[in-house]
Structure 1
Amino acid sequence: MEFLDLTVEQLASGYVETEFTYECIYCDFKTFKTEIYNYNDKFYTALGMMQLHILIEHESSLNMLLNLSKKENGLSEHQVDLINMINKGYSDKQIANELKLKESTIRYQRFTLREKEKQSKIYLAIMKSLKQKPDDAFLNIHSNAKQVDERYIATKEDEEKVKQDFFESLYPLKLKLIPRKEKYKIIVLRLICQQLEKSKYSESELNDVLTDIYEDYASLRRSLIEYGFFTRDAFGKTYNKCV
């Protein structure tokens, strides 16, 4: 699932509800609404088990959101420390002692966080209004993108151009050549990822899928890693999709 397409409520809870399941947004874990789950001799509904999973495996959704990069959550290291201590119930005096600051400074920073929340609501409303104009829509930047710069700024119009100029077929996906221009190459990699159904592949599995798309599968595989669409384990045997 596209992390940036999730609602505020989904990001805050740590899971997505579908018709039949609850699905963790941080890993592949899911629960089914028709099932009852046994954990340590206690029984849980599908929702209860999902909430327990997030607590055990991820500590909390807040913890996971705070551990995102500054590019993703917009928070400085100091702000992350402050929010963690507020969440743990520390008083202003305790926080001031920990961070070696004045209590008045901590109170002001709490106030700043509340103001930022208000401003964010207005900003989200503005951006939602902008999205009502499809011709101006930009493509989302995937959460694991590396060294985000102008290469990642692309529109739906750019995507249509790439589809026409660089693909022989879209269903099934057949690539004519890998673009030299990095912006177009990133769009190609995004389109490839959208048609890869699994979230985890062995190297041979990924090679087989990419070979069907383009004969130079090794170049595609390297680019998927280079631009943050995939990660691989230390042994190079398992490839995990990041979008």
Structure 2
Amino acid sequence: MQINAEERFWNATVEEMTNGYVYDDLNDAYVCLLCNEGFEDGIIYPLDGTLYEAKKAVKRHIEDVHTSVFDYLIHLDKKYTGLTEQQREILDYFMKGFSDKEIVEAQGGGSPSTIRNHRFKLKEKEKQAKVFLTLMNLLHKSSDKKNDDKFIHFHKGAKMVDDRYAITEEEKEKVLSTYFKQGLDGQLDTFPSKEKRKVIVLQNIMTRFKVDKVYTEKEINEILKSIYSDYVTIRRYLIEYGFMNRSRDCTEYWVKG
């Protein structure tokens, strides 16, 4: 079974997410968690005049394309990191090796004691995160599975995470079978009016697009026309719901990461 980028990202362990890649046993490849780019094991990859084995190639890819895993994660929306803008900025300074005094100077004000207080609060947040992860781990291992509904992973570009995204795998399968009667790769029978169903349908439509490709509006339209007659509406919702992004002049479209 093919794993989509969102599912791969959210199913990764803390260690895998720290590395920025996972090993895909199904395809014998190292896959970047940040963009889903794969590097097949056993293949030698020439990058800037140097030959790399797959594992080293994916590491080099992360450096070249994403700068670092930290840089990618720190710029994720607050709904994923739980960080305020100030906390994000402070963490960025810490990662760059700034001292408390240097951070004060870079911010143009404040005091070293304020920065130390931020360090303390972030340490407390780290402790809380460990406890919460442990609680959830114990919950998953619990023998009581009566309330163990598996929720789908929402896309990282989601502009607002609310009850529209509280969707179980069972709900998803039911909705998709209702609206894609010819199969998941077939045409959409009708576009749903209910918000939760829209999310499910749009998420499935996004499987027709490649993560690392920039599309022209014409290419987007052609793909969407093959799915549904009112392709303009679908295109608009893909942008509104944060599945895709586009240039200001609407000439280029890409999957929002």
Q: Do the structures match in fold with TM over 0.5?
A: yes
Whether the 8 Å CA contact 1:21–1:30 is kept in 2: the answer is yes
- Indicate yes or no: 2:112 matched with 1:103: yes
Identity %: 40
d(CA) in 2 for partners of 1:50, 1:160: 33
Whether contact under 8 Å (1:70, 1:76) holds in the other structure is yes
Within the candidate set 10, 31, 37, 1:4 is matched to: 10
CA distance in 2, matches of 1:189, 1:154: 13
43 and 155 in structure 1: CA distance in 2 versus 1, 3 angstrom threshold? closer
Whether 2:244 is the aligned partner of 1:230: answer: yes
Amino acid at match of 1:233: S
**92-101 vs 54-63, which deviates more?**
92-101
Q: 1:162 to 1:64 in 2, by over 3 A?
A: same
Contact kept in structure 1, 2:176 and 2:200, CA below 8 Å: no
Distance 1:37 1:163 in 2: 39
Matches within 5 A, 1:13-162: 13-19=19-25, 20-27=28-35, 29-99=37-107, 100-130=109-139, 133=145, 136-162=149-175
Unaligned runs of 5+ in 1: none
Q: Which moved more, 1:106-115 or 1:162-171?
A: 162-171
Deviations 1:43-88 (A, max 9, x none): 4333333323322332211111111122221112221221122222
When residues 169 and 78 of structure 1 are mapped into structure 2, their CA distance, relative to the original with a 3 A threshold, is same
Q: Deviations over 1:128-169 (max 9, x none)?
A: 455564653333221101233333333335324423543423
Instruction: Return the offset for 1:111.
Output: 2.5
Shift of residue 185, structure 1, vs aligned partner: 1.3
| C-alpha distance in 1 between matches for 2:249 and 2:36 | 21
Aligned residues: 242
Name 1:175's counterpart in structure 2: 188
Q: Give the CA deviation at 1:97.
A: 4.1
Letter aligned with residue 202 of structure 2:
L
- Does the aligned pair in 1 maintain the 2:243–2:255 contact within 8 Å? yes
Consecutive unaligned residues in structure 2, runs of 5 or more: none
1:209 aligns with 2:223: yes
Structure 1 residues 102 and 235: alpha-carbon distance in aligned structure 2, compared to 1, 3 A threshold: closer
Counterpart residue identity of residue 207, structure 1:
N
The CA RMSD measured in Å over matched residues stands at 2.9
CA displacement 1:186-217 (0-9 Å, x = unmatched): 121122224x2633344444434333332222
Corresponding residue number in structure 2 for 1:198: 210
